[in-house]
Amino acid sequence: MKKTHNQGMRAGTLVALFISALCFKAQADEPPDVIDLNPVLRPILKRSGAPAVAAAVYRKGSLVAMGVCGVRSIETRESVTPADRWPIGSCSKPMARLVFARLMERGVIKSDSQLSELLKGIDMRDVYNTVTLADLMSHRAGIQPYTEIGPKITPIIFDRKGTAIEQRERFTKHVLNEAPAAPPKKRFVYSNAGFCILAVVAERATGKPWETLVAEEVFGPLGLESATEGGEGVQLAGHMKGPNGGLQAARPFPRLAVMIPAGGVSLSIADFAAFAFVEAELEAGHPVAGLTKKTLSSLPELRPADMGPANRGGAMFFGGDGQYTAAFATWPKDGVAIAVACNQGDSDDLCTEMAGAVRAAVVPDVEAGDTSGPRGPRVIKRPRTPSDN
């Protein structure tokens, strides 16, 4: 049967629509183009005088924007690259929650277990016997802060005899025989030492060093290929204000096994944003990293208290060690996370400015939120080298 002109037109239109639909489907299946954030970051970098800055945005499981600009060191003037690892200080602490969540998932440990049971053989003051994992994670265990350290004021942290596991056990025994900074379970006292104790608990329960546990329970399952513990592979120099107010490259701080669980992770800015997105998913109660609903339901109990209220869009979590500064913000209901970093110490305001500018440029549809956020003490508030106090 011979087709009329109109029938041919209709058939051609249907074919065109079909092809168009296939093209749309193919485009939808492809990852979205990643927005270059350098035009947003460069003016901020210039105003701040920082050596280098970085930012990345994840939305609904995909990297949607990223930028890095500046130099690795004001001495070498080497340009930063997207692959460079940024030390994120206390932004590492939420990773401890994921380590314990995965151990709980397999029945290795329970969140309500007490230190007297978890650390058998370690003498401790009676006041610490009933402290739980949740108390330690939320900084309500009364443990001394250890936010300022140095060879003279905290010599035990610089006693690096033995393996990393042995150093952390020795420090844990020391801390648990100190007078509490506050009555356990009664008051928030930010404590880096508490996270060393958490590491010892995990090491005893599994027989593995904390560095291995974080790699196996966090880096691997989340695909954070750039992530390392303890400063390995970091090419960026840290910077701090000199005696006359000018910026100077800081001397590398020694690898301290005792402090690693409190803030030893370094990773690329893209992987940092990927982890921040996982935090957004956890806050939204979505399954991630092999966790079931039963384990997810207990996570609020293990939530670091300095992360700000759950599901509070735009609340920021800060980290740093006096030589680097990092922060991330999450919008759980929107599936959005922003991570920012710079290789300059004490730069919370700079990180806040970057996060705000990036949000406005990339995800203006999410509420700005309170990006002044919780600003807990750093892993090392004022870092001192072995020649200092």
What predicted TM-score, i.e. pTM, was given to this entire model?
0.86
Judge contact between 325 and 344, C-beta under 8 A. Answer: yes
Average pLDDT of the residues in 24-50: 76
Residue 124 makes CB contacts below 8 A (sequence gap 6+) with 115, 116, 173, 176, 177
For residue 149, the model assigns a pLDDT of 87
Q: Given phi > 0 = left and psi -120 to 50 = alpha, else beta, which region is 92?
A: alpha
Q: 3-state DSSP call for residue 325? A: strand
Topology classification of domain 35-362: Beta-lactamase (3.40.710)
Say yes or no to pLDDT of 17 above 50: no
| Integer angstrom CA distances of residue 140 from 17, 119, 319 | 62, 18, 19
Residue 388, pLDDT above cutoff 70: no
Domain boundaries, the chain: 35-362
**pLDDT mean over 257-278:** 96
Enumerate residues 6+ apart whose C-beta is below 8 A from 310: 283, 300, 303, 332
Average pLDDT, whole number, for the chain? Answer: 85
Name the one residue in this structure whose structure tokens are 């700000």: 308
pLDDT tens track for 228-252? 998 888 999 999 987 777 888 887 7
* DSSP type of residue 340: E
48-88 residue pLDDT tens: 999 999 999 999 999 999 999 999 999 999 999 999 999 99
pLDDT tens-digit map of 184-208: 999 999 999 999 999 999 999 999 9
Polymer length of the chain = 389
- Looking at residue 301, its amino acid is E
pLDDT tens, position by position, 205-229: 999 999 999 999 999 999 999 999 9
Is residue 180 within 8 A of residue 128, CB to CB? The reply is yes
